[in-house]
Structure formats: structure tokens, C-alpha cells
Amino acid sequence: MERGMTADQVLVALWRRKALVGAIAAAVFAVGAAVVMTRPSMYEASSVVRVEPQRPSEEMVQHTVSELIEQRLLTVRQELMARPVLEKAIQEMNLYPDIVSEKGIETAVAQMRKDLTIKVEGENAFELTYANRDPSVASQVANRLPAIFAEETLKLRQAQASRATQLFAEEMDAMSKSVSTWERRIAQFKVDHMGELPEQLEMNMRGLERVSHELQTKSEELRAAEARRSDLARARNAADSEAGRLEAAENGLTRELVAARTSWTEDHPEVKRLESELSAMSDKRKDAEGRMVVERQERSRAAELITSIQNEIKGLQNQAETFQKRLDSTPRWAHELGVMNRDYEIARTKYQSVVSRKVEAEIAEELEAKSSKSLFNVISPAGVPTIPARPDRFGGLLISFLIALGAGVLTGVVIEMRDDSIRDGNELRERLTLPVLAVVPNMQGKTEKRVLMPSSSARNGISSPTTLN
């Protein structure tokens, strides 16, 4: 039966069972001390790494890696404990060989994460602490891990810079093809619409003005040629009449001369006169016929001239129509060419921008490679520890002692609370509702014997209760 106990009762109970409490406490302390003393010693080595700011700055060179190296401190713990870094360190330094051979590299990486502590210091530094049973191994790992982390980080940044350069190169090739396509389209468009382009508008207007002026001149020449042909036509009628009259007169004189010769000799004056008149009439007829031939030739030349002028006028009219068509078509082709030139300028601007960015990306990639050795600076390398950091044997022993003492006290209290024995009159009065008349003490100890000896009160006639009725 369990019951409540006061602090005094607890102390009395513990004292009464001091041997049992001591034995339990000693046994628990021995077990705890054995556990503390048999735990292997773990040595911790720490190194401090400072992240240097990038040089040159963004104002001088546009970096292709968007994340600043200083910002990586926000995730440095996750990146340092990532598998690539830890696995490389395990393989390079032959860490956890038993775990690797028995359980695999994953378990070894997990164990190394437990032994590794990362702490960010300030705005541009972090502290790396590694624990191992071998102090020299702890020091080597603490010094090597920042270098591996720097190599992996720089390899990643260089890969990002290289991908950016490759991306710009591919984009530049695509934009170059686009620009070339637009150039060919514009060139072919100009060839297909030669003479109707906006830059030829002024030339076409001047050509139209020139053709109009020439048309006016040729029209005047045509009017003059037609007037000349009319005059020649009227002169031809007159020439034809004169030549016919002279020919008729010549024929009459010839007949008279033939008749005279039949009547007279050649020396006759009448024959002489007729021969002289016939000769003069023949010369006049020939002269009239010559003039008639000349006039006919002039009329032919006038007709040819009129035909030539008419052909020239027709050609000039065709030229004027051509120039007018070009002028009429120029606004439409100007709009289409303007749209094509606009798209071409956009493509060319993009191409120039991509070329500029590619050059900057190449420069940034070179700078990433050149500045790789100065981004991470170990300002406090790890030394070989001489004192183990874990376990804290004094603290462990103290905790074992407290646990052992608590176990002993708890055991004594529990046993006391489950003990139904009545040891004094007070317990008897508490547990029984009947009045207590006398208490028989325990007669085994010396104290109890001294109690049974007559006291001063007995000698004065007062008896002490010795029996329990």
C-alpha cells in the first residue's frame, strides 16, 4: 500500500535503507562511469575561411554568374555538406574505410555529416569544424575541405560562365542567320522593284519632268513637220501642173519640128527656130521634173521625220507612263520596305546586343578562371588538436553520479512507500482510529536500552509506560 511521505520521513527512510541506496547508486555510477570512460576520444580541428569579394566589380564587367560569391555564405552549410564535396573528401583522404566497405559510400557521407560542423562568421567568412578519433586526420580534413569546396564551387561557376558563353554563341549564330535572311530578302525586294523604291522617288520625278519637257518639244517639232508636209503637198500639185504643161508644149514642138523637117531642110530658119524652141522647152521640162523629184524627196523626208517624231513621242509617252507607274507604286513599296527595314533593324540590334553580351561573357569566363585562386582565403588554418573535445569525461562522470544518486534515492523512496510496517506511535495514530495507550520500543539497540533505564521522572514517582494494552 502506497502512502504519502514528508521530507523528514524520506530522509529517515533513506537512512534506514542506506545500504541498499548506496549499493544501487554505486552500481548505476559504475555502469555510467564505464560508459563514459570507454567512449572513444574525438578530436576537433577548425579552420576559418574568408570569401573575398569579386574583382573587377559589376560596373566594369557584367558577370554571367548571377549569384555573387558572397551570397553563397547563406547556403554554405548545405553546399559543404552536399554529397559531391564529402564524397570527394572521403575518396581522396580514405576516410571511414570500414563504413565504406561494409555499408557503402552513402553511410560514410551520412557519418561525415554528423562529424562536420559549419558556422557562418560575420558577412564574409565561415568556420569549419571536423571531429575524428585521429587528431592529425581531423586537422587534415579541416584544412582540405575548404579547398575541395572552393574547387567544386569554382568548377560550378566556371561551368555556369561557360554555359552562358555557349548560350550567347548559339544565340549569336541564330541571330546572324536571321540578319542574313533579312538582308537577302531586302536585296531581292530591291531587285524585284528596281526603279520603284523610295530612294528613287526624286529620280523618277526628275525623269518624268524631263520626259514631259521632251514631249512638249517633240510635239512642237511634229506640228512644224506636219506644216512643212502640207506646204510640200501644195507645191507638188503646182509642180505637177508645170511639168505636165511643159511636157505637152514639148510634145507639140516635137510634132511641129517633125512636120517642118518634112517640108524644109535642116538649114531652114523655121527648122532652126523649132529646134531651138524644142531644146529650150526640153530644158525647162527637165528642170521642172528635177524640182518635182526634189520636192518629192523633201515630202518623203518630211513624212519620215513625222513618223520618227511620232515614234519618239510614243516612246516618250511610254517612258512617262513608266515613270508615273513607278511614282504611283512607290508609296506601297515604301511601306513594305519600311516594315522589312524595321524588322531588319530589330534583328540587327538584337544581333549586336548578343555579340556584345557574348564578348562580355567570354571576358567574365576568363576572369572566373583567373580569379579562382583568390576567392576563398583560409585565414585560420586548422592545427593538430592535443586535447580531445569529446567526450567530456568529468561532465559525464558528474552526470553519472547524479543519475546514480537519483536512482538510489528513487529506489529507497519507492520501497519505503510500498512498506506497510508501523515503526512508531505517530504512524500508529495516523493509520488507526483507536487511541494509543502505550508503545513498546525496540529493545535491540543501545538507545532503546537507555530509554528503559529509570529516569529522573521515575525517581520522582512518575512511571513511564512500558507496555501496550
pLDDT per residue as tens digits for the range 47-56: 888 876 655 4
Q: What is the Cα 304 distance to its own chain's centre?
A: 79
User: What per-residue confidence (pLDDT) applies to 452?
Assistant: 46
Q: Which helix (H) or strand (E) holds 440?
A: none
Q: Among residues of the chain, what percentage have pLDDT more than 70?
A: 73
pLDDT per residue as tens digits for the range 76-105: 777 777 888 888 888 888 888 888 888 888
Is pLDDT above 50 for 411?
Answer: yes
Q: Which residue has the cell 520636192?
A: 295
Query: What is the mean pLDDT of the segment spanning 15-24?
Result: 79
CA nearest 225: which of 163, 305, 340, 283? 305
Whether omega for the bond prior to residue 381 falls within 30 degrees of 0, making it cis, is no
Q: What is the Cα 217 distance to its own chain's centre?
A: 70
* Region for 461 from its dihedrals, namely left if φ exceeds 0, alpha if ψ lies in -120 to 50, beta otherwise: left
**Which residue stretches of 97-200 are H helix?**
97-103, 105-115, 135-192
Do 412 and 21 meet the contact criterion of CB atoms below 8 Å apart?
yes
Query: What is the mean pLDDT of the segment spanning 183-188?
Result: 89
What is the spatial distance between Cα 131 and Cα 107, in angstroms, rounded to a whole number?
17
Rg (CA), the chain: 68
Amino acid at 278: L
pLDDT per residue as tens digits for the range 214-263: 888 888 888 888 787 777 666 655 545 566 676 677 777 777 767 777 77
Burial string for 45-82 (b: 16+ CB within 10 Å, else e) reads bbbbbebeebeeeeeeeebbbeeebeebbeebbebbbe
What is the secondary structure of 333-397 as a DSSP string?
HHHHHHHHHHHHHHHHHHHHHHHHHHHHHHHHHHHHHHTTTTSEEEEEPPPPPSS--B--HHHHH
User: What per-residue confidence (pLDDT) applies to 203?
Assistant: 87
107 vs 326, higher pLDDT: 107
What is the spatial distance between Cα 234 and Cα 237, in angstroms, rounded to a whole number?
5
Q: Between the ranges 153-162, 163-172, 443-452, where is the mean pLDDT highest?
A: 163-172
Would you say the pTM of this structure is higher than 0.75?
no
